[in-house]
Chains A and B, each alone.
Chain A
Amino acid sequence: MRGVSLEIRRGEIHALVGENGAGKSTLAKIVAGVHLPSAGSVSVDGREVRYRSPRQALADGIAMIDQELALLPARSVIDNVFLHSENSKAGLLRRRQMRERFAALVERTGFELDPDRTVGSLRVAEQQKVEIMRALARTARLIVMDEPTAPLTPVEAESLYAVMRSLRDEGVTIVFVSHFLSEVLALSDVVTVMRDGSRVRTSPAAEETPGSLVEGMLGRSLDSTFPARPESVRAEPRLEVRGLCGTGRFEDVSFSVHAGEIVGLAGLIGSGRTEVARAIFGADRVDDGEILLDGEPVSPRSPRQAISRGIALLPESRKEQGLLMRRSIVENIMLPHLDDVSSGGIVRSARERREVVEAMERLSVRAAGPRASVDTLSGGNQQKVLFGKWLIRPPRVMIVDEPTRGVDVGAKRAIYELIDELTASGTAVLLISSDLEEVLGMAHRVLVMRRGRLAAEFSNEGAERTAVLAAAFGTEGRG
């Protein structure tokens, strides 16, 4: 990041947008005292400050809510909310006072949280509420939020918007980083666009459109977010699922995906989408039902068996489930295919290197080289590596779970093109996503899950945003 000057006014919602690596998170972290600027200055209330730690920033009323939440999962909600702002007398906690403060915070935010639940048992959206309450408990006047809605369902995101607005109305300043441009425009007062570590412009949100933001971020206009839907659907069903049951997770799920087809699987988080995918992939138990691959019944009992049959899964969290962060690109991409590049158990490194270099070119992965450790790459490039794992040997069925989470606009488009490339080679794709635009933009057909069951199916033409949402929430009857 270089030479960025920025003014944030009291009581405004200030959005930072830009591609990954554009420097918006770095800027946010400098404001919150997580990073120290190598040159330049930060002033708060006209006074120049130089924070060496988030703690010092906090003393000035600046709190940060990171993408990865910083909570103590084994402790209760109330303990987390009042961490470092406990009421105490002579080192003893004053529980009654803390309860009263908690009740006041609940009133202020409208977050109905049980103070005694352990934070680890809460869903991500609720954990985020705990973080916000904690920031408020520390009398924060400026809250920095990095991608606050990324892990949330649309409804949860809506309620977060409401809270952010009411905080603003109380005079709290909010700086937030987001990839969702519609959200940025609807919510913020001021938008700062960043590109390549520099500020492009800061302007009132009312003066911007999604197109103008994208143009500012990329330095060029993007024709369309989604590539043209490929006309590659073939007649024969690749994957058929009949009456699949996983006790307590999902029931009676039946659908099929044809070769060359992209089927979107929408639904709220917890509706059983990921669970169905894991069951097909052999990662979880199946209690009843059939899975057919090209008409032949398969029942993979482990991911290894599924992979050998030609089923691949791109997991929803690349850091936790997808990549070996500290290992090289080569090792990550070749991990499922080592048998092909080895003889007698010994890896032929020249052969594997050749394949990986080729794949990296095709995916346009930006990295120091094929031996570069994956954690040195940007989020979008990491996601490309994750894709590369399956792209070099296109599977018969590919399940992609939240393929563009935490990925910037430019890389999103690249990933969509990769998915299309897969279908062109005859792969059947099952696309799971919380991003409705993505599902509607990419899929030939959309399936909606609710409470572990398939609730509705829409063909591409008939799929309307509202109808899909209604099916996901179970409000079709009421309109």
Chain B
Amino acid sequence: MSATDLSAQANGEPVAEVRPRSRARIERLRDFGIAGVLLILFIALTLSSDVFLTSTNLKNVAEQAVAVGLLATAGSLVIIAGGFDLSAGAIFAVSAIVGSKLANSTGVVEGYLVGILIGAALGLVNGIICTVGRINHFVGTLATSIVFFGLATKISGGALIVVPNQSFADLANTQILGFKSSTLIFVAFALLCGFILNFTVLGRYIFATGGNLTAARLSGVPTAVTQAFTYVLSGTAAGLAGLIVASRTLSVNAQTGNGIIYNALAAILIGGNSVLGGEGAIWRTVCGVLILALIANGFNLLGIDPLYQQIVTGLIILLAVGLDAWTRRART
């Protein structure tokens, strides 16, 4: 105990350079991770079911993924911009109900248009509440989701709305180049979202706003407008999804879309997008959507007790969140 004697020696690899290099590798691992899960799922299903790899089935899967996919791709933009939209499921219901009622009273095309516009308008309400109103995004959209579901029940009078006019089904069921129109609408919408995010000024603003709100504002980014835009887009997508579902079954009630928002959020997170904003990609969300759709499809094809589906869905979410956490730990 004479003197605190301390000597530090370090040899070999330069410590300071390890971080960036391993980071790039983990980044790649992370990309590989989610695509790998999807691939494994795909191979496992191909091996265990004869009919999985048929065009009918794959088209079915795509069609089944449409509603969740629309909500999830638009929702990703909200999350990347630093927001969070819990109310998309409720907007889905309101748009579907208003659209169906209008299709009965006025006309099918008017039903479509007004339904989508209502979705955009409710999205704008969310955007204003969360930006101008400075209310926490979770709480704000949780509250509006309750209000919107109430609206849906009120407008529908609690009753089921049936659309007898068969042409209302055209939005979802028209065949184009061998694909259902609903599938094509989703593909187009996802491409649009990806394009906005990666190639436009708005996309830059979305990343900047979610990545560092203060820095974005001080760099002249219209942060409130940017976030509000993502909410409008989310509302529009929810409206579109609601109408597609209503058009598919020619009927809708206030309970339609009850659980859909949780599937959409799950898809976004499974894809590996960060809830914290500022990062993410549409292709990740699409991976998440497809993984969820494939699990459901696989279990249906194999005729398994639905209980397993819940267990495995949960396990996959854990896997995705785990991946995200590992890369995050490696960064700090």
Q: Is chain B in direct contact with chain A in the complex (CB below 8 A)? A: yes
- Chain A contacts of B217 at CB under 8 A? 283, 302-303
Residues 1-43 (chain B) with a chain A CB within 8 angstroms: 1-16, 18-20, 23
Interface status of A327 (Cβ within 8 A of chain B): yes
Number of cross-chain contacts by CB at 8 Å: 171
Contact A4–B204 (Cβ < 8 Å): no
Interface status of B221 (Cβ within 8 A of chain A): yes
Residues 33-56 (chain A) with a chain B CB within 8 angstroms: 35, 37-46
Contact B218–A281 (Cβ < 8 Å): yes
Contact A324–B12 (Cβ < 8 Å): no
Contact A321–B200 (Cβ < 8 Å): no
- Chain B contacts of A321 at CB under 8 A? 212, 214-215, 218
- Chain A contacts of B5 at CB under 8 A? 7-10, 43-46
List residues of B whose CB falls within 8 A of some A CB.
1-16, 18-20, 23, 199-205, 207-208, 211-212, 214-222, 278-279, 331
Given contacts A39-B11, A324-B278, contact A308 B4 (CB under 8 A): no
Contact A38–B12 (Cβ < 8 Å): yes
Bound state CA distance, A8 and B6, in angstroms?
Answer: 5
Contact B216–A324 (Cβ < 8 Å): yes
Of A120-128, A223-231, A339-347, which binds chain B?
A339-347
Contact B8–A335 (Cβ < 8 Å): no
Bound state CA distance, A375 and B279, in angstroms?
Answer: 14
Bound state CA distance, A304 and B218, in angstroms?
Answer: 8
Interface residues in A, total, Cβ within 8 A? 65
- Chain B contacts of A44 at CB under 8 A? 4-6
Interface status of A403 (Cβ within 8 A of chain B): no
Given contacts A308-B220, A327-B278, contact A45 B1 (CB under 8 A): yes
- Chain A contacts of B14 at CB under 8 A? 1-2, 197
Contact B10–A335 (Cβ < 8 Å): no
Bound state CA distance, A40 and B11, in angstroms?
Answer: 6
Given contacts A321-B218, A331-B208, contact A2 B12 (CB under 8 A): yes
Residue of A nearest to B220 (CB): A307
Contact B207–A7 (Cβ < 8 Å): no
Contact B6–A325 (Cβ < 8 Å): no
- Chain B contacts of A3 at CB under 8 A? 9-11
Which of B13, B20, B201, B214 interacts with A339 by CB under 8 Å?
A: B201
Given contacts A9-B3, A23-B16, contact A324 B208 (CB under 8 A): yes
Bound state CA distance, A141 and B4, in angstroms?
Answer: 8
Q: In whole Å, how far is B331's beta carbon from the nearest beta carbon of chain A?
A: 8
- Chain B contacts of A9 at CB under 8 A? 3-5
Given contacts A21-B16, A41-B9, A303-B219, contact A320 B214 (CB under 8 A): yes
Contact B16–A197 (Cβ < 8 Å): yes
- Chain B contacts of A197 at CB under 8 A? 14-16
Residues 179-194 (chain A) with a chain B CB within 8 angstroms: none
Residue of B nearest to A372 (CB): B20
Given contacts A38-B15, A338-B201, A345-B200, contact A30 B10 (CB under 8 A): yes
Q: In whole Å, how far is B180's beta carbon from the nearest beta carbon of chain A?
A: 30
Contact A2–B11 (Cβ < 8 Å): yes
Interface status of A389 (Cβ within 8 A of chain B): yes
Contact B208–A7 (Cβ < 8 Å): no
